[in-house]
Amino acid sequence: MNKTVTLAMGNGGEENNQLIKKVFYKAFKNDILEKSEDAAILELNQKNIAMSTDSFTVSPIFFPGSDIGKLSICGTCNDLAMMGAKPKYLTVSFVIEEGFLMDDLEKIAKSMEKELEINSTLVVSGDTKVMPKGTVDKIIINTTGIGEVLQNDISSNAISKDDVILVSRDIGSHGAAIFASREGIELESELKSDCTSLFPVVKALLDEGLKITALRDATRGGVSAVLNEWAKQSNVCIEAYEEKIPVSDEVKGICEILGFEPTALANEGTFLIAVNKSKIEQTIKILKRFNKNCSYIADITDKYIGKVVLHNSWGTKRFLESPTGELLPRIC
């Protein structure tokens, strides 16, 4: 590892994984933490609860389709939902730069309030710090959430050859929208972040009695990061099909102009789901209630254990690696 922390260590890719494993897992090692799930599953009075925490820093703080306030509520509530849990209670901490506009702070709080209502979730505790001008970039928000587990045993360590992987919608719009907004790129389209609360979708899946093997929202590092994490955690090979991975024309355009990989772009309202291969049609039928661009994208094999293989429409294939380097800093 480097002797100093780099931006790449916060991108959700390989450098980030190494930082977590070699520094934080080493210091805080325990069985719950080492499962590397989106949220910890804890037993309390013979009931399972989920708990997750996240810090949010994004530039610009207001962007097409969302803002840092909505992002902070969606991010933690979505992590709980990815463990089959209904978000119940949140804590919120703000680190605010001196001179931050009060009007902007009120807009952020209103945005958070709206998303809390969607999740039927309460903020029950919080903290505020104000830092001297120049010591923090505008505002950082931390949210910690607790949720009630509705389906047990959802785990990224439990994927097998009996499963397939689907994606809930087209990918990469959050990362592309943030970059276009930050760089002042004017597009003849309505490209916006996919930032949204995912519990309503998960609840619909569970209400239909669907047995879910694994869920993961494809945030930092995008779809490629999730697939690589799943392949390693479950000790399987994931064979994905490039032509089945939905990408909008707007995101394709940004990627072609700037040389990005759509599968490495961040999302904030897009998730991957692993289910038994006999449940493909049922899963797609439910997902289409929320987004018509959902798709079955990958099979599970034992060909290259711990690897992700990407097949293209020309019959060739390559390993899809976990993202490396400085992708799009400050996207969540």
The last residue of a domain, from among 87, 114, 149: 149
* Residue 194 confidence (pLDDT): 97
The last residue of a domain, from among 149, 184, 207: 149
Pull the structure tokens for residue 288. Answer: 């289409």
List the one residue out of 168, 179, 190, 111 whose CA is nearest residue 143: 111
Q: State the CATH number of the domain containing residue 115.
A: 3.30.1330.10
Q: What is the pLDDT of residues 134-150, one digit of tens each?
A: 999 999 999 999 999 99
Distance of alpha carbon 218 from its chain centroid, rounded?
4
Q: Is the pLDDT of residue 320 over 70?
A: yes
- How many domains, the chain? 2
Instruction: Report how far residue 239's alpha carbon sits from residue 236's, in angstroms, rounded to the nearest whole number.
Output: 10
**Cis omega before residue 246 (within 30°)?**
no
Same domain, 51 and 188: no
Our CA angle for 84, 202, 116, nearest 5°, is: 90
Strands (E), 45-121: 47-56, 62-63, 66-67, 85-97
Instruction: Report how far residue 168's alpha carbon sits from residue 301's, in angstroms, rounded to the nearest whole number.
Output: 22
Q: Domain of residue 193: give its range.
A: 163-319
Q: Which stretch of 3-17, 20-34, 62-76, 188-202 has the lowest confidence by average pLDDT?
A: 3-17
Length of the chain: 332
Same domain, 171 and 264: yes
Look at residue 139 and tell me if it is in a domain.
yes
* Residue 331 confidence (pLDDT): 66
Our CA angle for 196, 179, 131, nearest 5°, is: 80
What does pLDDT average to over the chain? 93
Same domain, 168 and 315: yes
Q: Is the pLDDT of residue 328 over 60?
A: no
Look at residue 211 and tell me if it is in a domain.
yes
Same domain, 263 and 220: yes
1: pLDDT confidence band, cut at 50, 70 and 90? confident
Q: State the CATH number of the domain containing residue 231.
A: 3.90.650.10
Look at residue 157 and tell me if it is in a domain.
no
Look at residue 154 and tell me if it is in a domain.
no
Q: What is the pLDDT of residues 261-274, one digit of tens each?
A: 999 999 999 999 99
Look at residue 258 and tell me if it is in a domain.
yes
Same domain, 123 and 167: no
Same domain, 315 and 173: yes
Pull the structure tokens for residue 287. Answer: 């997902």
Look at residue 332 and tell me if it is in a domain.
no
Q: Please tell me the pTM assigned to this model.
A: 0.93
Look at residue 155 and tell me if it is in a domain.
no
Instruction: Report how far residue 77's alpha carbon sits from residue 197's, in angstroms, rounded to the nearest whole number.
Output: 7
> Average pLDDT for residues 304-326, to the nearest whole number?
91
DSSP class of residue 7?
G
* Residue 169 confidence (pLDDT): 98
Cα–Cα distance list, 16 to 215, 216, 219 (Å): 20, 17, 13
List the one residue out of 169, 162, 164, 156 whose CA is nearest residue 79: 156
List the one residue out of 2, 49, 4, 71 whose CA is nearest residue 220: 71
The last residue of a domain, from among 149, 180, 202: 149
* Residue 21 confidence (pLDDT): 87
Same domain, 139 and 219: no
